[in-house]
Structure 1
């Protein structure tokens, strides 16, 4: 049930290769979040309102989600080095196109192109981590990767705002696009798919049949299905708040100044940067704690949302801040989904399984973000009702996590009984006693 490790020990060269690849993810997050501080300028430049600006975010996230499984198959076929190189070229092209865009349709095309490049990055980096690092370090290095990504998020706040106010729209985005595309030459030269001569790519031509077969193979694995629902449920709410609805909720719903609202959203950045490595170290040492930690986060998130939406009157900042700080841990918790994909799939299918898992959170983000917008329109801007859609998605995801957690445990006990190697040993509980593996199509 566990993949063959491509390496038994990480070398200094492995860390340098990871750093080069993680920098690609940093650039991707910078480009992904750059519209946050450029929204007002974009509205003036393209002559559109707030609703039309929301389309930029939904389109980009939608392209990202739609490309995750194809990206995983491409990584398994061509390797991380080539796919990361292509990602940088698309990211650079998207920003260069945005820098010279004056029409709304062309701006949408630019962000869709950027979303396509963004979609190729994270799966590629995680595939590289799986090949260069032993299983016990996977969660730690993955958490370091996400922490580096949040540095890109920070770069897309005050520094980018200063550049837009100084040199302006075209020079800023043009320079960012050209530098990103230029970095592709370094990645192509320095990144290696696996240590030494170890072969970790499938070598099969990419076709619709291969794509379907790989998806089915990965989806049949209960650990992959569990990872999908873990990612679906843990990371969507922080995304919905930081990418689109956080500032409107705080400004229009809670009557906070724009500067205060923007500053409060940095809680999500710092919470993830600190929480990611801490959580990664915990689950690397005690992998059996992975799902109990997910369950604890989901229970806590339900309490936070009940408090935010049920508070009489305006919610005090002293309540909002710790609530947001707890929700920020959803990003680090979602990394557990990738660890499950890595542990329960053979190395040649890890990229595809990782893509399947990564679809979860961004599908939930898209569904929830669109639902909030529709409900705001129908209720005349009532955030209490609109944000109930977040609670509904959270409840659905939590139910599916519990279903597949139990089924994955049953598969693990069955593998142990057959004498197979298992990625983590867990103790049988009373709720496992009469549960047997069931067909995964259920």
Structure 2
């Protein structure tokens, strides 16, 4: 086990750590980028969100490559691309060059989470996947921590260009570490039915039951933490630069703590025969409550709401574990890739769309009014409510039928109710369904 941790877990955690740094670093350098290159809110939103757009577009081909060639080869090559993008970003002199560099970074780290999850599913026991995923995301989220106070300290001495040169070198080093340290995994033999496997993922009703809710909540949490938390805290809460960086640091720690907490809870629930779907619903409801507290300016510390939002950014621990129950092990990367497409696609929409909405209001002393942020955040919450209703619809339908039966006859517990409220166990029936699909 120690050898697996040293040669498999930690190298991929290093790559995931860098992906988190790249995902959230624009929050800290946005002020310098705007002043040095004259970027407005819409341009800044586009620059930051293009990472997520390219990231989303790369998920399906990267997932297919991971299942076919293994995480070691694919991830090492992708990180080399990310390193080149970081070097170009540090040397860019205009918006177009920044967009190209940011796109290369997004492509290069697009396999960070998938390769790590694929490695975990390949080398670790299935019953420990949720817990190990939690550890992976916890260590990776330290990149978000690094992109706050430590990055701010480093910026005082280097500037954002030199910072990206350092990140480029670190990314090249991580690529070499994965290539030389990680053992080669046995690759499953591809069959002539392989082209249908991706279609099977996207036609699976269970996938489309969880994907909208996971994307609208997790994607929104990523978008807000990666860019719009800082402007809100500055424009609406009036925080100073020092207080702002401190709050972002706390939020980054919240991602780490959330990944560890959710992974541990999911692991303990699984030991008792309980799946992760109920816990995932509870987390998303808490997330929407935190957003609504910001929208309606509930008299609570807004820092508490932002901490909850950051914790939900780690809820992929649960959604990845749920998806892992739906599909065979050898297709784990493609299944998670399919989920990541909607994650990052929605993240792009929220990140860029928020900038466009803010631009509809005039700035006052360089600050956007609170109503602009409230309207933008309210749109995201509305979509999340619809996604939650869609996810709960099967449960609500069964509860409704059960209540009608109960009112007409002697109270009994409908077995279908228990079956619906519990996640699908790994039974022979479930295995037969999988065989039919694949």
Interval of TM-score (by shorter of Structure 1 and Structure 2):
0.7 to 0.9
Q: Please give the residue correspondences for 1:91-106 in structure 2 after superposition, counting only pairs within 5 Å.
A: 91-106=82-97
Q: Distance in 2 between matches of 1:80 and 1:247?
A: 35
Shift of 1:73: 0.9
For residue 17 of structure 2, what is the aligned residue in structure 1?
26
Work out whether 1:371 is the aligned partner of 2:353: yes
1:293-308 equivalence runs, <5 A = 293-308=279-294
Q: Does 1:400 align with 2:390?
A: yes
Q: For 1:6-30, what per-residue CA distance to the aligned partner results, in whole angstroms no more than 9, with x for missing partners?
A: xxxxx22221211111111112211
In 2, distance between residues paired with 1:334 and 1:29?
14
Q: Distance in 2 between matches of 1:327 and 1:47?
A: 30
Aligned position for 1:362: 344
Note if contact 2:28-2:147 (Cα within 8 Å) is conserved in structure 1: yes
- Is residue 292 of structure 1 aligned with residue 278 of structure 2? yes
Judged with a 3 Å threshold, the aligned counterparts in structure 2 of structure 1 residues 413 and 335 are, in CA distance, closer, same or farther, namely closer
Q: CA deviation at 1:230?
A: 4.2
1:34-75 CA distance string (max 9 Å, x none): 222222222244343333222111111111111112211111
Deviation per CA, 1:142-174, whole angstroms, max 9, x where unpaired? 111111111111222222233332133443322
What does 1:144-223 correspond to in 2, within 5 Å?
Answer: 144-194=135-185, 199-203=186-190, 213-223=196-206
Alignment CA distance shift 1:188-1:120 (3 Å): same
Whether contact under 8 Å (1:226, 1:404) holds in the other structure is no
Partner of residue 233, structure 1: 216
Matches within 5 A, 1:41-440: 41-194=32-185, 199-203=186-190, 213-287=196-270, 288-311=274-297, 318-380=300-362, 381=369, 382-403=372-393, 419=429
Alpha-carbon distance in 2 for matches of 1:115, 1:80: 17
* Contact 2:27–2:230 under 8 Å retained in 1: no
Q: Does the CA-based 8 Å contact 1:32-1:114 persist in structure 2?
A: no
1:48 is paired with a residue whose SS is: coil
Instruction: Tell me if the contact between 2:154 and 2:163 (Cα under 8 Å) persists in the aligned partners.
Output: yes
Aligned in 2, Cα 1:127/1:226: closer, same or farther, shift over 3 Å?
Answer: farther
Secondary structure of the structure 1 residue equivalent to 2:238: coil
Report the TM-score, using the length of structure 1 for normalisation.
Answer: 0.82
In the alignment, the residues of structure 1 paired with residue 191 and residue 24 of structure 2 have an alpha-carbon distance, to the nearest angstrom, of: 35
* Equivalenced residues, count: 403
Provide the TM-score with structure 2 as the length reference. 0.83
**RMSD over equivalenced CA pairs, Å:** 3.0
CA deviation profile, 1:387-431 (whole Å, cap 9, x unmatched)? 2112112112212322477899669999989655599xxxxxxxx
Cα distance in 2 between the residues matched to 1:78 and 1:165 = 42
Rounded to whole Å, the distance in 2 between the matches of 1:32 and 1:327 is 16
Deviation at residue 175 of structure 1 after TM alignment: 2.9
Tell me the alpha carbon deviations over residues 338-358 of structure 1, each in whole angstroms, 9 at most, x when there is no partner: 112212211221110010112
For residues 230 and 405 of structure 1, the distance between their equivalents in structure 2, rounded to whole angstroms, comes to 15
Q: Unpaired runs of 5+ in structure 2?
A: 363-368, 398-415
Give 2:408's aligned residue: none
**Cα deviation, residue 133, structure 1:** 0.8
1:347-389 superposed Cα distances (whole Å, 9 cap, x missing partner):
2211100101122322222222233223223354422222211
Q: Which runs of 5+ in 1 are unaligned?
A: 1-10, 424-439
Distance 1:184 1:337, change over 3 A: same
Matched-pair contact (CA < 8 Å) for 2:276–2:423 = no
Instruction: Encode CA deviations 1:183-202: one digit per residue, 9 max, x unaligned.
Output: 322211111254xxxx3444
